[in-house]
């Protein structure tokens, strides 16, 4: 189902079971991923477009997400100016070991740009010193003290999230 909440920058495509029954779509071969597996295997196909194009892809993708052939997706409601991309981004999530099956579906619904990004890469970019976190700090014109607090909070959050590598991965706040 398409979850479009105005308060969120992102529009999500997730199984109804996730929304209504807490189903964890971060899994492979029927089993939820551990923190360690998440960092090793979880990632996304990324592509761009205007919000109309991505909404259209989301509608076509929705039945595949419902039947769990595609775990989940999200896309930008509007362009993020700070990243100077000039387009909205869609991320279609899956396990690396499943990515070609997911790509086959995406290519049948009109996706042509093929770019695989491991979640670990994205996380590293949101860690202190990472390109995305520093851009975010710059965009908000934070004072040096506020910026340091944001960096410390990010570091603490990630450390806490992955402290037990064998625990089931519980997701990232969006």
Partner 1 sequence: MTQNQDIVVRLATVLARHTGNQKELACPVRGGDDLMTLLEDLDGHYAGLKTMICASREEIIDSINVYVNGDNVRYLQGLKTPLKGGDVINIIPAAAAG
Q: Where along the sequence are the contacts to partner 1 (CB under 8 A)?
A: 44-46, 48, 83-87, 89, 91, 103, 113-117, 119, 121-122, 125, 131-132, 135
Q: Smallest gap, in angstroms, from Cβ of residue 50 to partner 1?
A: 10
Backbone angles phi, psi at 50, to 5 degrees: -80, 170
Three-state DSSP at 70 gives: coil
**Closest to partner 1 by CB, 39 or 46:** 46
**Closest to partner 1 by CB, 54 or 89:** 89
**Closest to partner 1 by CB, 17 or 135:** 135
> Cβ neighbours of residue 28 under 8 Å, at least 6 residues apart?
37, 41, 95, 97, 98
Q: Smallest gap, in angstroms, from Cβ of residue 79 to partner 1?
A: 10
Total residues belonging to the chain: 174
Backbone angles phi, psi at 75, to 5 degrees: -145, 160
- Rounded to whole angstroms, the Cα distance separating 162 from 119 reads 13
Q: Smallest gap, in angstroms, from Cβ of residue 21 to partner 1?
A: 26
**Closest to partner 1 by CB, 17 or 39:** 39
Three-state DSSP at 143 gives: coil
Q: Smallest gap, in angstroms, from Cβ of residue 170 to partner 1?
A: 19
């Amino acid at each position: 189902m398409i979850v479009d909440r105005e308060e969120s920058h992102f529009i999500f495509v997730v199984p109804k079971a996730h929304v209504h029954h807490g189903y964890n779509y971060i899994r492979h071969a029927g089993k939820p991923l551990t923190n360690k597996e998440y960092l090793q295997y979880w990632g996304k196909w990324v592509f761009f477009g205007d919000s109309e194009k991505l909404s259209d892809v989301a509608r076509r993708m929705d039945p595949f997400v419902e039947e769990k052939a595609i775990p989940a997706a999200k896309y930008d409601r509007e362009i993020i100016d700070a990243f100077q991309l000039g387009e909205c981004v869609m991320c279609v999530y899956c396990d690396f070991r499943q990515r070609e099956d997911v790509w086959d579906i995406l290519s049948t619904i009109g996706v042509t740009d093929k770019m695989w990004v491991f979640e670990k890469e994205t996380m590293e970019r949101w860690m202190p010193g990472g390109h995305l976190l520093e851009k975010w700090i710059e965009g908000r014109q934070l004072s040096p003290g506020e910026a340091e607090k944001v960096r410390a909070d990010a570091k603490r959050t990630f450390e806490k999230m992955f402290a037990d590598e064998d625990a089931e991965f519980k997701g990232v706040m969006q």
